[in-house]
Structure 1
Amino acid sequence: MSQSAVNQSGQTQEQTPTLRAKLRKSERSYKFKSLLLIAPLFLFVLVCFAFPIGTLLSRSVDNPDVNTALPATVEALALWKGKSLPNEHTFEALVIDLANAKENGQIGALAKRLSYEIPAYRTLISKTLRNLPASDVASKRDALIAIDSSWGELNYWKALKQASAPLTPYFLLAALDHRIDSATGNIVKADPNQSIYVDIFARTFAIGAVVTLLCLVLGFPVAYWLATLPEGKSNLLMICVLLPFWTSLIVRTAAWVVLLQSDGLINRSLMFLGLIDAPVQLVFNRTGVIIAMTHVLLPFMILPLYSVMKNIPGNYVRAAISLGAHPFVAFWRVYVPQTFAGLAAGALLTFILAIGYYVTPALVGGAADQMVSYFVAFYTNKTVNWGMASALGSLLLIATLLLYGVYGKLTHPNQSRS
């Protein structure tokens, strides 16, 4: 018997490594199959989300125009200290680079980029190209200064060197109404006639906050009503909440233009009821933008609130009332705190969508009601200023991430402390 037990023990010890190997092989196979299942989703997120955002962030600091058009000049300016005019070799390199840039069709991008530093640079480049010194001219420096005295000013050369850096904070600073002074190298406020973006961001956040607040005021009672109804009626009414998603955003916005215009249904109804004597301006202004955006974004507030309220037991409020609490006090101090997760999620989702809206303010609002997204589209489609469009988009993305971070700390305070 003892010999048989020893043999069984030996066989068990021999089988144990084999079983472990098979288990590890099975786990590796399971992980590999799991990775294969999520690979399409990962590639989709990488190609359609991560890559565009990375490109957006890079274009906001990318600065290739001057380096591409004036390579020899940029190389010559690398060792220039900026205390006096560059040497003759730098002027010669500039003449050669300008001639080559004209042949290669790079003058437009070059003049455009340099005009961001000094607006008169565009005229200076055009004037210089029309009178470009010949190759046999003894002093290119004297010839360029004779064409325009600006080539004899340090500010223009400092601006040229500043614009030649491969990466630049120019667009991000411009999006915050600041710039780098080419004479001193310090960050200063932009000129008053160019300082518009801080006001645009303030307008965007203000409209987003008002729309979010209105969606909360209107959406909370609707979500509470849906959560307390029987399931059959609740599902039927939920279709009405989801109905706007079945209609194009442009169609809904155009419908509000028709409703809000001077002879539209709303003004006619108000005049019929005797509430107003003359039509009220409700379209192509801030009021129309807020009304239309609130209607479009209201479901994004109702749905998170409803999903949370549906899981809140009604016994808590009834217990508080049975213990002597006023119904409103019981509702406010017992029920409402349990909805904070849905309230925060709905408010965050609504606000993030609101600050990125483009179509509705563009169609319903006036010139003073356009938001950041309008100017992103303007710089992308009309002026083809990818740097400025990317900078505005990047700042909007940063604001969104900060909001999400605040939301994470508010909803998970214990995790942040640990």
Structure 2
Amino acid sequence: MSNALNQNAENGPVMAADGTPLKRSLARALRRQKGRALLLIAPLLIFVLVTFIIPIGSMLFRSVENDIVANTLPDTVQRLASWDATSGELPAEGVYEAMYYDLFVANEAKRHTRLGSRLNYEESGISSLFRQSGRKIDDLAKDATKALESAVPAFKDGETWYALMNAGNDEANAGLLSAMRGRVGRLNDSGASGDMEFAPSALMADILPLTTRSYTEWAVYEATQEERDPATRDPWELVPLALLQELKTADLSGLSGTRAELLTQAQAVSFDIPPYSEVLADIDPEWGTILPWETIQTHSSKYTAGYFLNAVDAQKTPEGYAWQPEDKQILLKLFGRTLIMSMIITCSCILLGYPVAWLLANLPASKANLLMILVLLPFWTSLLVRTSAWKVMLQQQGVINDVLVWLGLVDDANRLIMINNQFGTIVAMTHILLPFMILPMYSVMQTVPPSYLRAAKSLGATNWTAFWRVYFPQSIPGIGAGSILVFILSIGYYITPEIVGGTKGVFISNRIAYHISSSLNWGLAAALGSILLAVVLLLYWCYDRIVGIDNVKLG
């Protein structure tokens, strides 16, 4: 038989019953088996992907996303790119003009306040600057509209504007229309959709580019966002302003008919447009300083490391990266405090939980079950109730201080301060997380045969030696599992530190919750969360290298 197999191997590959090579047949069977297993877990994978991976990934992406400046002030950002912020000189007049037009559109789309809030994260006071400017930005445009409509009453009619700017029999400017659709979509956090018959005239775009662009942007906004027909409605006051500005230097010789007549009449309108630098400075003197322009230029890129810099108490400046002022450097301290206090809480849970787990594993079943009920009892009580109970017990007029005063251990005038500090956070969180340490250790200790200890004692070992040399090493996997569980849970807690920690016992998770729910600085919250995740993964990797994750067991 052996000789036949050897001869078979020499003559060629071993064949399966169906005549195919055995190796290929086994590989096919393995692929089918893996495919069936994948189909079985596919619903769970899809559920985890949709409800967990994608939302978390989307949130973490906010830590580098920064398109609001470029989308809201596109022309300003483009013109500001060539300005040297370190020169000490204000931007050119063209930058002020672009800012006026961009800010007018942003104000109409109700986006300027969001832009101000974003830049206010980097420089305090910018938010009020944009709010103030939004309230007065249309004053000049309204004056221009009145002057034009008084001199040429036909411009009071929206149909006049539509006929003037629509391509009609002219060649349409498809590129301009596409660009304005994209701009409106970005301004409103949605893809601009909806059908409309308007298409900007390429001829008018060549003669009056700013006017045509402003009208097209309004028409797209009117049709897609307001869902109204631009053919019968008056455009933004910005359009007449742009028309009067461009007609001062426009060459109308290429026009004829009604368009030429209307624009010739409008060209005769006397309306002085002051420099836009003066217009913005009159709205708010802050526009006459370098600071807002410097802030806009520094944070105008679509992707930024600024949130991560802020998360480590640094900032992005025109000269590069720099540390925040000392009175603002708190986040690194919070990171350090979070890690140190989480380790202390983990160690406290080990010290308190190990004896309880040992009793559970070695007591008779009836007594062990009763003790297990006491261990699980906190799970049946609300987290908020347990935390509030510790707040009552730890305060200076609380139960613990009253008992200590009654026993004479503490003077009534010098009661212990155990709340609104790190001590209160450690005590409350140790109590809350203790069951998560006890249960893994208990499940592992149950698997340790009692005969091992008896055998060690029969060989002459003392109780301590038998425990330390025989029992404890076998319980280490339970300690490792409980430690990882408690440590990861503790660094993410924010309710308990917020209630009992005061200003000295809060964690970095409290700042993340604050930026998500109160300051609405989701970018910084995402950056803090990303750093915290990276730190946890790094510590997990170190634990695996030192202890070995394979040694962590749950019984």
1:65 to 63, 68, 76: 68
> 1:260/1:85 Cα in 2 relative to 1: closer, same or farther (>3 Å)?
closer
| 2:530 aligned with 1:401 | no
CA distance in 2 between counterparts of 1:24 and 1:340 reads: 40
Partner residue of 1:113 out of 115, 118, 125: 118
CA distance in 1, matches of 2:17, 2:340: 70
Mean Cα deviation higher: 358-367 or 54-63: 358-367
Pairwise CA RMSD of aligned residues? Answer: 3.2
Q: Following the alignment from structure 2 to structure 1, what is the Cα–Cα distance between the partners of residues 470 and 16?
A: 63
For residues 156 and 285 of structure 1, the distance between their equivalents in structure 2, rounded to whole angstroms, comes to 40
Query: Paired residue for 1:36?
Result: 39
| Map of 1:4 onto structure 2 | none
Q: Point out the more displaced range, 384-393 or 267-276.
A: 267-276
AA partner of residue 497 (structure 2): P
1:361-380 mapped onto 2 (5 Å cutoff) = 361-380=497-516
Residues 195-222 of structure 1, C-alpha deviation per residue, up to 9 Å, x if partnerless? 1111222222232122111111101111
Counterpart residue number, 1:157: 293
Secondary structure of 2:504 counterpart: helix
Range 401-410 or range 142-151, more displaced = 142-151
Residue in structure 2 matched with residue 388 of structure 1 by the alignment: 524
- In structure 2, C-alpha distance between the alignment counterparts of 1:285 and 1:155, rounded to whole Å: 39
Counting aligned pairs with the same residue, the percent is 44
Question: Which amino acid in the other structure matches residue 237 of structure 1?
Answer: L
Residue 89 (structure 1) aligns with:
94
Q: Specify every segment of 5 or more residues in structure 2 that has no aligned partner in the other structure, as ranges.
A: 1-14, 142-240, 246-272
Q: How does 1:293-312 map to 2 (within 5 A)?
A: 293-312=429-448
- Count of residue correspondences: 401
Worse overlay, 102-111 or 270-279: 270-279
Is 1:206–2:340 an aligned residue pair?
yes
1:177 Cα deviation after fit:
0.6
**Deviation, structure 1 residue 232:** 4.5
- Cross-structure match for 1:190: 324
Q: What is the CA–CA distance in structure 1 between the aligned matches of 2:503 and 2:364, rounded to whole Å?
A: 47
Q: Which stretch of structure 1 is more off in the superposition, 401-410 or 279-288?
A: 279-288
Q: Which residue of 2 aligns with 1:168?
A: 304
Structure that is richer in helix per residue = 1
Alpha-carbon spacing, 1:332–1:191, altered in 2? closer, same or farther (3 Å): same
TM superposition shift of 1:303? 1.6
How does the TM-score come out when normalised to structure 2? 0.64
Could you say which residue in structure 2 is the equivalent of 1:283? 419
The offset of 1:30, in angstroms, is: 4.8
1:359 CA displacement: 1.5
CA contact (8 A) 2:342 2:491 kept: yes
String of CA shifts for 1:32-70, please: whole Å, max 9, x gaps. 443332122212221232122212210111112212221
Choose from 266, 269, 272 the match for 2:400: 266
Q: Deviations over 1:291-321 (max 9, x none)?
A: 1111110111112222222223445444554
**Cα distance, 1:282–1:118 mapped onto 2, change above 3 Å:** closer
Q: Work out whether residues 404 and 410 of structure 2, in 8 Å CA contact, stay in contact via their aligned partners in 1.
A: yes
> In the alignment, what sits opposite 2:483?
347
Matched, 1:327 2:441: no
Matches of 2:91 and 2:525, distance apart in 1: 34
Name which of structure 1's ranges 365-374 and 328-337 shifts more when overlaid on structure 2: 328-337
Distance 1:243 1:17 in 2: 65
Say if 1:130 and 1:30 are closer, same or farther in 2 by CA, change over 3 A: closer
Q: TM-score under structure 1 normalisation?
A: 0.83
Q: Is the 8 A contact 2:298 2:317 kept in 1?
A: no
Matches of 1:414 and 1:310, distance apart in 2? 19
More RCO (CA 8 Å, sep 6+): 1
For residues 343 and 357 of structure 2, the distance between their equivalents in structure 1, rounded to whole angstroms, comes to: 20
